[in-house]
Structure 1
Amino acid sequence: MHTMILANIPSPPQGVWHLGPLPIRAYALCIITGILVALWLTLRRYKERGGNPDDVWDAAIVAVPAGIVGGRLYHVITDAPKYFGEGKNPWQAFNITAGGLGIWGAIALGSIAVWLLFKYKQVPLAPFADAVAPGVVLAQGIGRLGNWFNQEIYGRPTDVPWALEIYYRVDEQGNFAPLTGHSTGEIISVVHPTFLYELLWNVLVCLFLLWADRRFRLGNGSVFVLYVAGYTLGRFWVELMRDDAATMILGQRVNTWVSLIVFLSAVVVFIVMKKRRETSLSPGTSQAVKQTE
């Protein structure tokens, strides 16, 4: 009995092109595109909140490099065996062109950098955090296209109609080069396109945040907290489907645990923020405030 494959998603034949001696990396182009889209959306939303557009540009100047450093640090820490130990080259930890950026570290260090900037400028952080949240998750989705070009962040073998074909890639000398090489046309695996699942989820989270913000008039940082909860919920089930190499803790990928912990934390924070907001708007509280004035 033959299994009929209706359609498969092909991987790009290569992820790096050379303009003379200059390598043009699809992964970097996707990240840059995501940043530009996030800037455009954040500028629109921050202006609607009465914010100064210059604050957005200043935030980008500190957040982007901090995010890259944080993303690399997270990757190196959680995948330390790749860089440290017998037979390993620790200097490869600085080779960011070989791939390896953890979104957790990028968001964490980028957020700290922006928080310090706004504290220095004496500008409220919450309105900016709410304005930037939909753009950040949309940028993450666009960035996942870079994983498609790099043939990484993939799932387990499957025969679903939308399965992703992973090609054997070689360099000019014919050596195996999955990131920088070009395809020979040989299919070495057919897997779940988990990069695509996360991309679509991130777009849905972006649309949900835009809708919820207008529908419920969210504020005081609650949009950003909702983004964290929404993203980590999707990342949790995507991690359960992935099959590429990863650091394991108690039988699960490290990012599975991080997703779960951060999701639960965000839900708790959101509930607390919601209760505080309801309390501050309740008639009894308003009357009590008037009596003490």
Structure 2
Amino acid sequence: MLPLLAEFTSPGIGFQIGPLSIRWYGVLIASAVLIGVNLSQYLASRRQVNPELLSDLAIWLVLAAIPSARLYYVIFQWRDYVGNPASMIAIWQGGIAIHGAILGGAIAALIFARVKKISFWQLADLVAPSLILGQAIGRWGNFFNSEAFGSPTDLPWKLFIPLDRRPPGLENVAYYHPTFLYESLWNLGVFALLMFLFFKGSRLKVGTLFLTYMVAYSSGRFWIEGLRTDSLMLGFLRMAQVVSLTGIAIGAIGLFWLYGMKRSLPDVVDDPNPDSQPTR
């Protein structure tokens, strides 16, 4: 048997400050939003885009992404909520889907870009590093909630799951793949890649960072999702894997469109200089 390298055990879903109950999931989401807004504003200033646009956009994204993430999850877990409608809004108990958040956020960003008459792809490039960093942080919410874990494992690194959180039929199995950790580390790697491209990329075309995010994040999510025991399903299909393959395809086609065909991406505004970095 291989020696134990790391054993992860959740300390619980929250903590008390006097009469106030604080959930780690909420703390992590709030932290991810705060860090993300500041990072996006910093990146905007480096590209001569008004940083205040990113703070305004953040409000739109939060208002759209969090309900969309919850709605996406509830739709695919409808049988768990149909008898208790009030639980549908209890996001502090976990149960949000990042693909729902991305979809809702993308729709909000498109509307915002049209209203503000700014390139959607410029905004997407500035948000992409913050988005993947937020995902890396948010995955630790799954750790505290003892959810979204993988299949049983006896590897030298493993996650202990309490009896009441174990899948049916696996009540006697205590240790599982820490898929929250796999995805968090993968996302940090994607974040490093995007930041490298942002600062070192030579005259990147508008849209490159977001399309790279789609390919890189989706590639990791596809294989990690295959380890999980609680995937949202549509028939026999794991929805996250289907969406990930779609994301890889869209990102790859978009990058080929930019660099293979040397054309600018369709946008909500006309871009007089599609090869340039975002401007004010």
Q: CA deviation at 1:248?
A: 4.5
Q: What aligned pairs does 1:136-215 form with structure 2 within 5 A after superposition? A: 136-168=131-163, 189-213=174-198, 214-215=200-201
Q: Structure 1 residues 248 and 116, CA, compared in 2 at 3 Å: closer, same or farther?
A: closer
Q: Structure 1 residues 273 and 81, CA, compared in 2 at 3 Å: closer, same or farther?
A: farther
Hey, what does 1:15 align to over in structure 2? 13
Cα deviations across residues 74-129 of structure 1 (Å, max 9, x unaligned)?
Answer: 11112222223xxx323322222322111111111112112212211222222221
Q: CA deviation at 1:37?
A: 1.9
Cα deviations across residues 3-53 of structure 1 (Å, max 9, x unaligned)?
Answer: 354233222221111234422011111111111221222111111111001
Cα deviations across residues 160-183 of structure 1 (Å, max 9, x unaligned)?
Answer: 111111134xxxxxxx5x5xxxxx
How many residues are paired up?
259
Picking from 47, 50, 61, the partner of 1:63 is 61
- Range with greater deviation from structure 2 (58-67 or 97-106): 97-106
Tell me if 1:129 matches 2:127. no
Hey, what does 1:54 align to over in structure 2? 52
Hey, what does 1:97 align to over in structure 2? 92
Return the alpha-carbon distance in structure 1 between the equivalents of residues 225 and 84 of structure 2. Answer: 28
Return the alpha-carbon distance in structure 1 between the equivalents of residues 239 and 125 of structure 2. Answer: 28
Return the alpha-carbon distance in structure 1 between the equivalents of residues 2 and 44 of structure 2. Answer: 51
Return the alpha-carbon distance in structure 2 between the equivalents of residues 219 and 37 of structure 1. Answer: 26
| Structure 2 gap segments, 5+ residues each | 166-170, 265-280
| TM-score in terms of structure 1 length | 0.81
Tell me if 1:77 matches 2:62. no
Q: CA deviation at 1:187?
A: 9.1
**Matched residue type, 1:261:** T
Question: What SS class does the counterpart of residue 241 from structure 1 fall into?
Answer: coil
The structure having more radius of gyration, on CA atoms, is 1
Picking from 103, 108, 113, the partner of 1:108 is 103
| Structure 1 gap segments, 5+ residues each | 169-175, 179-185, 280-293
1:39/1:56 contact within 8 Å kept: yes
Hey, what does 1:44 align to over in structure 2? 42
Hey, what does 1:29 align to over in structure 2? 27
Q: Structure 1 residues 269 and 38, CA, compared in 2 at 3 Å: closer, same or farther?
A: same
Q: Structure 1 residues 236 and 4, CA, compared in 2 at 3 Å: closer, same or farther?
A: closer
Hey, what does 1:288 align to over in structure 2? none
Return the alpha-carbon distance in structure 1 between the equivalents of residues 249 and 126 of structure 2. Answer: 23
Q: CA deviation at 1:139?
A: 0.8
1:145/1:195 contact within 8 Å kept: yes
